Amino acid sequence: MDLNNNKSQIQEQISAFMDGECQSHETSVALASLRQEAYQKDWEIYHQIGDILKSNEMGIRVSEDFNSRLNARLRTTEPDPHKIFQFLPKHQHLRIVYALAAMLTLFAILIPRFAGNDGAEVAAPYLTAQFTSANFPSHSDATLIAAGQKDVSTRSDSEPDMLRDPLIDSYLAAHQRYSSSMVSAVEYETGPIILETGKR
Amino acid sequence: MKILFSILFLLNVLVPVFADETVGAQALLEKIQAASKNQSYAGIFVLQNGNQLSSSRIIHSYEAGDEQEKIEKLDGLRRVYVRRNDDVISYQPDTRILRSEKRQSQDMFPAVLSFNNRSLNDHYVFRLAEVARVAGVDCRMILIQPKDTMRYGYRLCAAIPSNLMVLAQTADLNNQILEQIAFTSLNFGPVDSRNLKVEYQDTSAWKSVHDAVAVTTESGWTVNNLPAGFRKMREVRRLIGAGAESVSGSKPAELHEVLQMVFSDGLASVSVFIEPVSVAHRAGVVRQGATTIAGFQSGNFWVTLVGEVPVALIRLLADSIEYKAK
């Protein structure tokens, strides 16, 4: 019981640390906890939730008739519950109903955030990127990766994003070399180099 | 009439207060920048960028105008950086690589010293806020709020009375923290010079690397639609590719030359890289913490933008990159 309470408290501190609301002693606890694998997963989950719910500045668009098409599709589709449920144990059915209800509720909350008053094309985070520039990544070739969605090293080969581009690290390091960013103040990583093997 | 007088009275009282706060905040920023150089301290700081978290130990010494610093990464691959004034040596024991180079960016964050304060005032609102406590140290919070959607906001905390920056946060327009650096332990005072030395004494068998950058003044490439307050800080030709470390562990691409232009408003920076299409790239936009990276092809050239700025600014710059024949 105490262990559960303690875990819950640490999770709250990790969440508060992520939001920049930690007191200093809580920060120390959160940092120590993040060295444990279980809490690292919490850290990633909090980020994913935060990314989905809070970010609305990314320049991504859904088509203006997205809502109407979605509603029409929902109206016309006649799902056969037996086909969905037949391979599941009986007690799983209720869980799926709850999960679907939760998803629909989430849609109901999120869609108005993305929908403009005039019905024009509006921004929606973490779908497919589209930019005004003709040359900029289009629907087909650009995928926006939310901060913290996945670690670079854990991505599968089939995921089309530029994180797999090995040059990304080089550009990032080259930028930090000259930028006045706070990271540059404490990182001396540099990218563009010429290798010389042997004695200096 | 009473209400009108009340409003006028409040304006008379409050406007000078806010003006004083702004002046005070900017003066404090300048003290922060100086404080990171001209005093001795040792501590551990944590850098959070998106969901990436890393910690490092820093030992900084300042004695008779001589600045020495050692930063040791405590997570992931072992990395040790030793700096004496502008000379930086990086030790990578796993690959046995030793890098010796000159520190290029004199404008450590916040880079207010090289900027006209009046210009920063046009684009950010500076406020002195409450006294907070970070790593057991009392500090004065400074809020820097952008006036448009092309920049992020910042929250800095300067230790009292040393003015060393003990906390720095970058936040988006929704006040969501995107990136932060915070000390978790900090001690002021003279440091033992033995702690500034590295354990790798014999590096004769290590590979030595050096930077390959050539300053250029006018390549013909321009960014026409820079937001107010941003200006070009540098334009260099450099090598990208082989030898560069890869976080993902993937195979480094071939070494090739790129043009790099760096733009900054004093707090935020963006680099624009331009190169002929010669190696395989993937178009897309990535955001990691406060850093946005975008890559796309324009004619026969590949353009990459990297900056601690919102996607809106990256898009604006990308739309206005042009080549003007000399």
The complex scores an ipTM of: 0.80
Nearest CA in chain A to B105: A178
Picking from A13, A23, A24 by the largest number of B CB atoms within 10 A of its own CB, the best residue to mutate is A24
Tokens of B215: 């300053």
Categorize the per-residue pLDDT at A186 as very low, low, confident or very high, splitting at 50, 70 and 90: low
> Bridge partners of A144?
B285
pLDDT digit string (tens) for B264-319?
888 888 999 999 987 777 788 888 889 999 999 888 899 999 999 999 999 999 99
Percentage of residues in chain A having pLDDT higher than 90: 0
Q: Are residues B172 and B223 in the same domain?
A: no
Task: Assess contact for B286 and B298: CB atoms under 8 A.
Answer: no
Look at residue B206 and tell me if it is in a domain: no
Categorize the per-residue pLDDT at B173 as very low, low, confident or very high, splitting at 50, 70 and 90: confident
Q: Do B179 and A182 touch (CB under 8 A)?
A: yes
Q: Are residues B98 and B166 in the same domain?
A: yes
Look at residue A88 and tell me if it is in a domain: yes
Look at residue B203 and tell me if it is in a domain: no
> Rounded distance, CA A80 to CA A89, Å?
17
Q: Which residue has the tokens 């206005």?
A: B320
Q: Are residues A79 and A47 in the same domain?
A: no
Q: Do B240 and A147 touch (CB under 8 A)?
A: no
Q: Are residues B187 and B40 in the same domain?
A: yes
Q: Are residues A143 and A165 in the same domain?
A: no
Q: Are residues B132 and B165 in the same domain?
A: yes
Q: Which residues of A touch B77 (CB under 8 A)?
A: none
Q: How confident is the prediction for chain B on average, in pLDDT?
A: 82
The least confident of A117-126, B73-82, B208-217 is A117-126
Q: Where is the domain boundary, B140, B168, B196?
A: B196
Highest mean pLDDT among A106-120, B108-122, B230-244: B230-244
Q: Which helix (H) or strand (E) element contains residue B134?
A: strand B124-134
pLDDT digit string (tens) for B179-229?
898 999 999 999 998 999 999 888 889 988 776 677 776 788 999 989 998
Average pLDDT over every residue of B123-130? 90
Q: Do A173 and B245 touch (CB under 8 A)?
A: yes
State the pLDDT at residue A156.
Answer: 36
Look at residue B205 and tell me if it is in a domain: no
Q: Do B209 and A191 touch (CB under 8 A)?
A: no
Split into its structural domains, chain B has a count of 2
The least confident of A5-9, A96-100, B48-52, B269-273 is A96-100
Look at residue B131 and tell me if it is in a domain: yes
Q: Are residues B175 and B233 in the same domain?
A: no
Task: Assess contact for B295 and B274: CB atoms under 8 A.
Answer: no
Domain ranges, residue A23 = 1-54
Q: Are residues A7 and A67 in the same domain?
A: no
> Rounded distance, CA A195 to CA B210, Å?
7
Q: Are residues A141 and A76 in the same domain?
A: yes
- Higher pLDDT pick, B315 / A106: B315
What are the two backbone dihedrals, phi and then psi, of residue B46, each rounded to the nearest 5 degrees?
-115, 135
Exposed, middle or buried: residue A102 (CB in 10 Å: 0-12, 13-18, 19+)? exposed
Exposed, middle or buried: residue A199 (CB in 10 Å: 0-12, 13-18, 19+)? exposed
Let me know how many helices (H) and strands (E) chain B has, helices first: 3, 21
Predicted confidence (pLDDT) at residue A159 exceeds the cutoff of 70: no
Average pLDDT over every residue of A133-140? 40
Q: Do B52 and A148 touch (CB under 8 A)?
A: yes
Q: Which residues of A touch B255 (CB under 8 A)?
A: 194
Q: Report pTM.
A: 0.64
Categorize the per-residue pLDDT at A199 as very low, low, confident or very high, splitting at 50, 70 and 90: very low
pLDDT digit string (tens) for A166-178?
678 788 878 877 7
From A91's Cα to the closest Cα of chain B, the distance in A is: 36
Neighbouring C-beta atoms of residue B151, cutoff 10 Å: 25
Q: Are residues B248 and B185 in the same domain?
A: no
Look at residue A16 and tell me if it is in a domain: yes
Residues 6+ apart with CB under 8 A from B165: B32, B35, B36, B156, B157, B158, B159
Q: Which residues of A touch B71 (CB under 8 A)?
A: 186, 188
- A130 by DSSP, 3-state: which? coil
Nearest CA in chain B to A157: B250
- Higher pLDDT pick, B103 / A54: B103
Separation of CA B66 from chain center: 23
Q: Are residues B26 and B51 in the same domain?
A: yes
Nearest CA in chain A to B275: A171
State the pLDDT at residue A48.
Answer: 58
Percentage of residues in chain B having pLDDT higher than 90: 37
State the pLDDT at residue A83.
Answer: 37
Q: Are residues A64 and A88 in the same domain?
A: yes
Q: Where is the domain boundary, B164, B196, B228?
A: B196
Highest mean pLDDT among A9-13, A154-158, B184-188: B184-188
Q: Which residues of B touch A140 (CB under 8 A)?
A: none
Tokens of A158: 């089939």
Look at residue B11 and tell me if it is in a domain: yes
- Among the partner residues A57, A142, A187, nearest to B310 by beta-carbon distance: A57
Domain ranges, residue B166 = 2-196
Q: Which residues of A touch B136 (CB under 8 A)?
A: 24
